[in-house]
Amino acid sequence: QRKNPFSSDDRLASKPTHTQRGDPTYGRPPEGSRTEQRGKDAHSHVGKEVEELCLIIRRTGEVGEDGHVSVTFGQLFETYVTISNKVVGILLRARKHGLVHFEGEMLWQGKDDDVVITLL
């Protein structure tokens, strides 16, 4: 509608144009917008869930010879699922940040119950 010469909607004229790849603001919501704030809030919430997951691994796991705490996925799933149903997603996020290690790309309940998750 912004490019439509027949549009008389003044709200569209005041909106910023799309950014291009390489621009530091590309793919980001406008600064100070409600969308930006929702993104920050979501990031903070996920960070707290990752911290909680690490605490649960430390509490329920066993210290190995290398000094790292480890727990099987089955044991972690049974403990953590009562707290959050997003255990696999939070595990993937924790691995992305270098906080835990486990083999494989995805963990499935039942099939991967014996996979060891190590707290780094």
User: Helix (H, G, I), strand (E, B), or coil: what is residue 100?
Assistant: strand
Q: What CATH number has the domain bearing residue 74?
A: 1.10.10.1540
| Whole-model pTM over 0.75 | no
Range of the domain at 110: 34-119
Q: What's residue 27's pLDDT? A: 83
Number of domains in the chain: 1
C-alpha dihedral, 90 to 94 to 95 to 99, nearest 10°: -150
Asked if residue 77 belongs to a domain, the reply is: yes
Nearest CA to 91 out of 61, 59, 30, 46 is that of 46
Q: What is the pLDDT of residues 39-92, one digit of tens each?
A: 999 999 999 999 999 999 999 999 999 999 999 999 998 887 766 778 888 999
